[in-house]
Chain A
Amino acid sequence: MPGPIVAEGDRVVLRTVERDDAALLQRSSTDPRIRYSLGSIHHRSLAEQEDGIEHWVERDGSFVTVACVDDEDAPAGNPDDDQTTPIGSFSARHVDGDRAWLAYWLLPEHTGEGYGRDMATTGIDYLFDHFDLHGISAGAYEFNDASRGLLEDMGFTQVARRREGRYIDGDYYDEVQYDVLRREWESSEQ
């Protein structure tokens, strides 16, 4: 189960990733409904994902959380199984530099419920509040309308389009890049 609350949104909370959350994170590299749009070329075993938690999630410079929807009685500390529902993950790399890169995803069974924007804005607010970042970048394949729409809604600017930059889901697709600067994020009403 995920651990204590790191950041709290309106409906979504971000909790720490614990080592027994590998099966949840593994979904991002396996589930055919999300892994292509995430660019997960190599699917991972549970053991590989556990290794990834120790070597990537827990590394300084990585900010990785489990997005959860808490029940009313869920504690700020470690919740029991029946007190919270993990719905996806919000993460950023290179938070120890001045430019971080975002990644986030929702499990398919929790999309369409309006959690994505709450998760992303909660995470980005936290990143700018607690890390000395000048800007945040994100990328999405050209066909990923949900992710691109969310980035645009949140005030990210499309800054580059790497043409046919990745072979994914059977063809070469453009990778569209976005970024937002701290002053832009802080001046917008989220």
Chain B
Amino acid sequence: MPGPILEVGDGDDGLVLRTVEREDAALLQRLFADPYARLGLHEHSHKSEAEVEEFVEEQVEDDSNAGYLACVDGEDAPYDHPDEDETTPVAFLYAHHVDRDRPGVVCWMPPEHRGEGYAEPALELMLDSLWRTYDAHTVGTEVLDCDGFTRDLVESVGFVEEGCGREVRFVDGEYRDAVQYGLLREEYDEGARAGGE
């Protein structure tokens, strides 16, 4: 299960960010089985649960990276460690190199939670947390051009298309283009003001 609360959304839908714990490896394992999502982690193949536990220990827990599980909490879910029936993890959000100028963002939502309306607020909550915590000047993300769900998601929170690596990744039988996105802190701030937040 995810751990304590790191950020609380401002809606009344119970959306929060919680820590990634080692026992969440089984959930994250599904990300590595998704050929589109694993691009952002520079991985080419699936991993065993033990390998994903290592990924949590060595990458997610490293201070130069930041990982979050976006969760939908029940009414009585605590700031502390929740019980299994108190919260539902709906997305994994990750940024690597948060100690540099341009952290790279990865967002992955298991297919059964897509379309419930949590993806966009979860990514916004994660970006809020990044800007509050680290002095990054911009954030970037790379998405395969055929991954429409993730492209729509990052564009909805204001990421700007900056170009496209041509035929960078061999996925699902073809070389695919990887779209590059960037978002400047000042653009995000302006977007938040324009949105009335």
Give the B-binding residues of A (Cβ under 8 A). Answer: 97-99, 134-135, 137, 157-167, 172, 177, 179, 181
A162-B102, A162-B180 given; A167·B137 CB < 8 A: yes
Interface presence of B164 (CB below 8 A): yes
User: How far apart are the CA atoms of A172 and B100 in the complex, in Å?
Assistant: 12
Of the residues B101, B165, B169, contact of A166 by C-beta under 8 Å: B101
By beta carbon, the residue of chain B nearest A157 is B166
Interface presence of B182 (CB below 8 A): yes
Cβ contact within 8 Å between B140 and A165: yes
Residue-by-residue, is B68-94 near A (CB-CB < 8 Å gives 1, otherwise 0)?
Answer: 000000000000000000000000000
A-B contact pairs, 14 of them (CB 8 A): A98-B170, A134-B170, A134-B175, A137-B168, A158-B163, A162-B163, A163-B138, A163-B160, A164-B137, A164-B138, A167-B101, A167-B137, A172-B138, A179-B166
Cβ contact within 8 Å between A159 and B163: yes
Residue-by-residue, is B91-106 near A (CB-CB < 8 Å gives 1, otherwise 0)?
Answer: 0000000000110000
Give the A-binding residues of B (Cβ under 8 A). Answer: 44, 101-102, 137-138, 140, 160, 162-170, 175, 180, 182, 184
User: How far apart are the CA atoms of A149 and B180 in the complex, in Å?
Assistant: 22
A134-B170, A165-B140 given; A160·B102 CB < 8 A: no
A134-B175, A167-B101, A172-B101 given; A162·B164 CB < 8 A: no
User: Which of chain A's residues have a CB closer than 8 A to the CB of B101?
Assistant: 165-167, 172
User: Which of chain A's residues have a CB closer than 8 A to the CB of B184?
Assistant: 163-164
User: Which of chain A's residues have a CB closer than 8 A to the CB of B162?
Assistant: 160-163
User: How far apart are the CA atoms of A14 and B180 in the complex, in Å?
Assistant: 33
Sample of 16 further A-B pairs with CB below 8 A, known A166-B101, A172-B137: A99-B168, A135-B168, A137-B165, A137-B168, A158-B163, A159-B163, A161-B162, A161-B163, A162-B138, A162-B180, A164-B137, A167-B101, A167-B137, A177-B163, A177-B165, A179-B165
Kindly list the 3 A-B residue pairs having the minimum CB-CB distance in the complex, ordered from nearest. A160-B163, A160-B180, A165-B102
Smallest Cβ distance from B62 to chain A, in angstroms? Answer: 18
User: How far apart are the CA atoms of A167 and B175 in the complex, in Å?
Assistant: 32
